[in-house]
């Protein structure tokens, strides 16, 4: 029997902590073929624990005074938060995080008093290795890992560039699992699956090969049986077969088992079809029939190809269909903490937005990310990161600090990293490409090394040298991806103004690998979780001030000056914090919608827009920009603008050509459609109305109508509504724009890498004077198991004037946002007398009675009106009674309190001196009972364990009120050992 330990990506960084396994004795593996992660760790400063790892790695060491962490993986900061030493609600509050000091990256590994690896071999964040510990293991074992400081510019780590302030530990710690594996005389490496699909897809057989490297650990030749099995995820009889193989002594042999699947079920991205997954297993049995080892995995039948067109732009194809990439750049947690349930919820947000892809720039994350992506149908673009050691080439002159170019040993580490990541990813059908560089391409030694390693791992997706067009190595050819910005605010017409292409940089043509309008302002409820009162005041009173929750202090993105200039000039100076946040949500909605509509509309243009990766999807910590939903998973303006702009079938307004585009991202929707066009002014008067009959075809976009005449007479802001209906009259897409007399004028010749400046802004200040509108809302909870967590809300504008930017939010009994949840539409504008029904679906097991909050902008929208209704205000004999809000009076400068017995509405967070003297809010009526316990398949955790920061990240022994109070006081817990005294880090496992 042989026992080996697989150390996966020990990005063990700086700080001097000894990490040892939690002292409770645990049997991890007991038979060949079994694999188990080290389940828990103890940590201590090496200043206290000492530097004698041989002694520390013996059994019986007293670690009762160490930090105890019941996690299989965590960086130093993640471990200290998990153990209760720190609280991230406090750390993220205001600028508290800037008061700690950094560290990170190589490691020594000791087992039972003997050294297994040192910092010269266990190096690099992705430097996974397998160590044979057969001769060192015993019945009781102790494992110690000592981590050394790292620099992003000197080590292959996981850096942050200007995404956010750098974490206090620079990623120190065991950020992926350390696994213990037991085998027999023959050990197998990771499973690889190679498929060749016949056409037509699904009706012709597919060839499949199961592969794995077999290592004979004996000094004599052995004859074994290699067996393969493939089982459809939907069930049924597995396909099994085997062959006999003789392995030379102490050799490594590639085992290959081939077979044919007669009618393979094809894996598709979610928008295009189903995601059938097959289970595969390759096993080795010895002559006596005993299992020696196994290599399990899952895979899907799909093909991905790419080509560079005549414009030097990359176009991907999935299963033979041209695939316009619509997605965004993912950011992991700042402390590299992993939560599969949270990622599952994020994956559902991604699909709700209409995205088909996300990009991982140097943040290749955990294996579970790809497993969930396979199951949900999300394409993934992994690759190496920019701006640090990973791109320390002689021709890279954009590094923030002088960085040594690679030496021979660096190529060894990078190649091992590439091999490890390829092995982890190879079987996953969600893989779209691997980018071997980001801003810069690998040099002529690294490029063929990367390509050969990927091909040696049977990589079955394109390999592209970088995410930019700066240059490329000969082995990969041109990247076909542009990285020309913008990264800060630009107006909606920016994306549609595509010629001349030479100075239109990020406009909607080609493949934009990372670009966006720099938006992502959290809503007020989230802002108050991480900003102090002084920070909140700075948002609207100091528009040019550098802010901690933007980018690092030396970054061009440390402040909101460009964004705020636009907000002030286009909407008027904010009069309060609430006013600023509402204007920010409108700005974000408009910006993200235009970007995705621009690229979608130009899919079939003369120079097509082949792909868009928005900068960014999420933030690594509570951030004021570059995220589509905030750190607490609360969706706001930017989210819903994105959602509208990325609809599967859609109708969109072109700000430059004043035309209407018909967009169809599907593979199966076609036929007759109608586009209804209506324009009203701010007083609610209809100035234009028309219906256009059109025909749509799958995977196409085209211009179908001109609106030049419809909009030529407007003297000020008007509202434009586009409604797309199918052949049966069912609404497929509804879209409302606020259109100024003229568009923002851009200084194209003055563009730089992160922004194109505006020389004249559009004027939307007329919207500050909108007349009062009355909106009613009725909520109906769905029936039956299929509708658990689903509620429809019907909004009706009872007025003769538009109700602008109506937002809906669900809060719990304590007033906290209910997350995660999705809305079919939100931040909507209702035309006079218009009725609109939207739906919400909660992605959580909610155990509190929720309250629906309706806010809308009318009668001086600088202070939006609000009402609330409890969806279930009491329950008796398991029945939740109807709740109703009656007319509510609002007096100047005050908000009416909510009464438990009447359900009267209030929206205290929106109080302002700009409130009207009296405005009626018609009641929200609950028509059916709300389920107290809602269970969503595949999400068993309650919402608080998925994404609610103040709940999820409580200190041990502290309740939510105490945690919130600590947050409000924004005082870091006193610690007996400061970061400044930490010099090395070690992990210990017993």
* 3-state DSSP assignment of residue 216: strand
Residue 40 domain flag: yes
pLDDT of the residue at 862: 39
Element containing residue 420 per DSSP (H, E):
helix 408-425
Residues 589 and 728 in one domain: yes
**320 inside domain:** no
Beta-carbon count within 10 A of 927 CB: 12
Residue 213 and residue 159 share a domain: no
CB-CB contact of 17 with 951 (8 Å): no
Q: Is 577 exposed, middle or buried (0-12, 13-18, 19+ CB in 10 A)?
A: buried
Angle between helices 577-601 and 637-645 (to 10 degrees): 20
Please identify, among 926, 954, 973, the residue that sits at the C-terminal boundary of a domain: 926
Cis omega (within 30 of 0) on the bond before 244? Answer: no
Instruction: Based on the fold, state whether residues 152 and 192 are members of the same structural domain.
Output: no
Could you give the number of structural domains in the chain?
Answer: 4
Whether 96 and 35 share a structural domain = yes
Structure tokens at 556: 């061009």
Q: Are residues 140 and 228 in the same domain?
A: no
| pLDDT at residue 958 in the model | 31
Instruction: Enumerate residues 6+ apart whose C-beta is below 8 A from 860.
Output: 768, 769, 770, 914, 916
Task: State the residue range of the domain holding 232.
Answer: 186-299
Shared domain check, 167 and 65 = yes
Distance between alpha carbon 915 and the CA centroid of its chain, in Å? Answer: 38
On whether residue 880 sits in a domain, the answer given is yes
Q: Is residue 513 situated within a structural domain?
A: yes
The pLDDT, as a whole number, for residue 976 is: 26
Full-model pTM: 0.86
397 within a domain of the structure (yes/no):
no
Domain end position, chosen among 273, 299, 325: 299
Same domain, 554 and 680: yes
Residue 849: per-residue pLDDT: 56
Both 647 and 732 in one domain: the answer is: yes
The answer to whether residues 684 and 831 belong to one domain is no
User: Is the domain of 538 the same as that of 677?
Assistant: yes
Local mean pLDDT, 10-residue blocks, the chain (990 residues): 26 34 67 88 81 86 87 84 80 56 62 90 88 86 83 92 89 86 94 96 95 97 98 89 98 98 96 98 97 98 98 98 99 94 97 99 96 99 98 95 95 96 98 99 99 99 98 98 98 98 96 97 97 96 95 92 98 97 98 99 98 97 96 98 99 98 99 98 97 99 97 92 98 98 96 96 96 91 67 95 95 88 97 97 66 63 44 30 24 27 26 23 26 23 23 26 36 27 32
How much is the pLDDT for 650? 98
- Asked if residue 826 and residue 863 are part of one domain, the reply reads yes
In terms of phi and psi (left: phi > 0; alpha: psi -120 to 50; beta: otherwise), the region of 307 is beta
> CB atoms < 10 A from the CB of 484, how many?
20
E strand intervals along 148-290: 173-174, 178-183, 186-188, 192-197, 206-216, 222-232, 239-247, 252-261, 278-285
* Residue 775 belongs to domain with CATH number: 2.60.40.10
Residue 849: both structure tokens together? 């009675």
* Cα 500 versus chain centre, distance: 33
Q: Note whether residue 309 is domain-resident.
A: no
Q: Which amino acids are annotated catalytic?
A: 439, 514
pLDDT value, residue 434: 99
**Using an 8 Å Cβ cutoff, are 439 and 483 in contact?**
yes
Cα 361 from Cα 377, distance rounded (Å):
20
On whether both 14 and 73 belong to a single domain, the answer is yes
| Strand-pair category, 278-285 with 671-681 | unpaired
- Residue 91 is part of a domain; what is its CATH number? 2.60.120.260
884 domain residue, yes or no:
yes
Instruction: Write down the pLDDT at residue 790.
Output: 84
Q: Please give the pLDDT value at position 85.
A: 82
Q: State whether residue 563 is helix, strand or coil.
A: helix
Q: In 3-state terms, what secondary structure has residue 689?
A: strand
Domain end, chosen from 281, 299, 317, is at 299
Q: Is 945 part of any domain?
A: no
What's the residue count for the chain? 990
Q: What is the DSSP string of 83-135?
A: TTS--HHHHTSTTGGGGS------EEEEETTEEEE-TTTS-STT--EEEE-TT
Q: Determine the pLDDT at residue 21.
A: 52
| Phi and psi at residue 270, to the nearest 5° | -55, -40
What number of other Cβ atoms are within 10 A of residue 444's Cβ? 11
Bridge partners, residue 37, by sequence: 179
């Amino acid at each position: 029997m042989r026992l080996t330990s697989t150390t996966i990506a020990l990005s063990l960084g700086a700080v001097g902590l000894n990490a040892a396994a939690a002292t409770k004795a645990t049997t991890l593996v007991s038979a060949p073929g079994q694999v188990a992660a080290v389940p828990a760790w103890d940590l201590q400063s090496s200043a206290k624990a000492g530097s004698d790892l041989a002694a520390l790695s013996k059994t019986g060491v007293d670690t009762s005074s160490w930090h105890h962490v019941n996690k299989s993986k965590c960086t130093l900061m993640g471990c200290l938060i998990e153990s209760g030493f720190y609280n991230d609600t406090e750390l993220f509050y205001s600028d508290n995080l800037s008061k700690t000091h950094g560290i990170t990256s190589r490691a020594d590994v000791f087992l039972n008093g003997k050294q297994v690896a040192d910092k010269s071999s266990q190096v690099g964040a992705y430097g996974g290795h397998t160590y044979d510990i057969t001769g060192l293991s015993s019945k009781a074992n102790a494992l110690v890992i000592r981590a050394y400081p790292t620099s992003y510019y000197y080590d292959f780590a996981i850096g942050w560039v200007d995404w956010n302030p750098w974490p206090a530990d620079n990623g120190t710690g065991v950020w992926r699992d350390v696994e213990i594996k037991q085998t027999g005389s023959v050990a197998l490496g990771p499973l690889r699956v190679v498929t060749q699909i016949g056409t037509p897809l699904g009706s012709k057989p597919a060839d499949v090969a199961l592969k794995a490297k077999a290592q004979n650990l004996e000094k004599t030749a052995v004859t074994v049986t290699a067996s393969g099995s493939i089982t459809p995820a939907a069930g049924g009889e597995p396909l099994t077969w085997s062959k006999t193989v003789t392995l030379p002594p102490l050799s490594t042999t590639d085992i290959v088992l081939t077979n044919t699947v007669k009618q393979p079920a094809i894996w598709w991205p979610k928008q295009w079809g189903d995601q059938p997954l097959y289970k595969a297993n390759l096993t080795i049995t010895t002559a006596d029939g005993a299992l020696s080892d196994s290599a399990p995995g899952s895979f899907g039948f799909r093909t991905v190809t790419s080509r560079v067109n005549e414009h030097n732009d990359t176009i991907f194809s999935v299963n033979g269909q041209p695939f316009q990439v619509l997605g965004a750049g993912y950011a992991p947690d700042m402390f590299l903490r992993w939560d599969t349930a949270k990622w599952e919820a994020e994956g559902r947000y991604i699909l709700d937005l209409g995205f088909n892809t996300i990009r991982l720039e140097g943040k290749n994350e955990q294996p579970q990310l790809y497993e969930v992506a396979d199951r949900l149908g999300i394409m993934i673009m992994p690759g190496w990161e920019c701006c640090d050691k990973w791109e320390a080439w002689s021709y890279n002159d954009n590094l923030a600090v002088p960085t040594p170019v690679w030496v021979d040993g660096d190529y060894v580490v990078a190649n091992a990293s590439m091999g490890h990541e390829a092995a982890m990813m190879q079987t996953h059908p969600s893989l779209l490409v691997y980018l071997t560089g980001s801003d810069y391409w690998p040099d002529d030694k690294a490029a063929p090394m990367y390509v050969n390693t990927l091909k040696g791992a049977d990589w079955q997706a394109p390999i592209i040298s970088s995410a930019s067009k700066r240059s490329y190595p000969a082995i990969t050819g041109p990247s076909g991806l542009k990285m020309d910005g913008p990264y800060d605010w630009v107006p909606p017409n920016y994306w549609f103004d595509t010629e001349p292409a030479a100075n239109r940089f990020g406009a909607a043509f080609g493949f934009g690998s990372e670009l966006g309008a720099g938006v992502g302002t959290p809503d007020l409820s989230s802002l108050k979780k991480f900003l102090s009162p002084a920070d909140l005041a700075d948002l609207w009173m100091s528009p040019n001030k550098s802010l901690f929750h933007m980018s690092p202090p030396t970054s061009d993105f440390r402040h909101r000056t460009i964004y705020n200039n636009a907000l002030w000039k286009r909407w008027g100076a904010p009069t309060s914090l609430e006013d600023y946040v509402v204007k920010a949500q409108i700005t974000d909605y408009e910006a993200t919608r235009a970007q995705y509509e621009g690229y979608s509309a130009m899919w079939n243009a003369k120079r097509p827009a082949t792909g868009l990766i928005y900068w960014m999807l999420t933030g690594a910590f509570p951030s004021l920009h570059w995220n589509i939903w905030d750190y607490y998973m609360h969706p706001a303006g930017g989210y819903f603008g994105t959602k509208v702009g990325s609809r599967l079938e859609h109708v969109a307004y072109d700000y430059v050509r004043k035309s209407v585009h018909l967009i169809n991202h599907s593979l199966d929707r076609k036929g007759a459609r109608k586009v209804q066009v209506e324009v009203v002014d701010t007083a609610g008067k209809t100035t234009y109305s028309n219906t256009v009959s059109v025909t749509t075809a799958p995977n196409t976009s085209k211009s179908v109508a001109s609106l030049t005449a419809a909009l030529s007479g407007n003297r000020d802001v008007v509202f434009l509504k586009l409604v797309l209906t199918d052949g049966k009259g069912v609404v497929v897409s509804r879209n409302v724009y606020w259109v100024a007399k003229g568009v923002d004028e851009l200084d194209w010749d003055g563009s730089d890498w992160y922004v194109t400046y505006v020389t004249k802004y559009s004027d939307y200040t007329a919207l500050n004077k909108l007349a009062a509108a009355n909106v009613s809302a009725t909520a109906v909870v769905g029936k039956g198991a299929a509708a658990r967590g689903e509620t429809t809300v019907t909004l009706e504008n009872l007025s003769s004037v538009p109700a602008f930017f109506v937002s809906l939010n669900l809060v719990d009994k304590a007033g906290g946002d209910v997350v995660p949840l999705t809305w079919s539409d939100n931040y909507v504008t209702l035309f006079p007398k218009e009725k609109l029904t939207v739906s919400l679906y909660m992605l959580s097991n909610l155990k509190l009675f929720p309250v629906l909050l309706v806010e809308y902008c009318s009668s001086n929208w600088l202070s939006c009106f609000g009402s609330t209704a409890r969806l279930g205000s009491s329950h008796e004999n398991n029945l939740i009674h109807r709740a109703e809000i009656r007319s509510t009076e609002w007096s100047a400068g005050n908000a009416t309190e909510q009464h438990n017995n009447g359900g009267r509405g209030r929206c205290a967070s929106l109080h302002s001196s700009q409130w009207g003297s009296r405005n009626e809010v018609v009641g929200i009526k609950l028509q059916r009972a709300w389920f107290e316990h809602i269970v969503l398949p595949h999400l068993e955790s309650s919402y608080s364990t998925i994404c609610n920061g103040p709940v999820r990240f409580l200190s041990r022994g502290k309740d939510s009120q105490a945690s919130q109070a600590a947050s409000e006081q924004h005082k870091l817990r006193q610690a007996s050992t400061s970061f400044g005294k930490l010099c090395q880090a070690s992990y210990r496992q017993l």
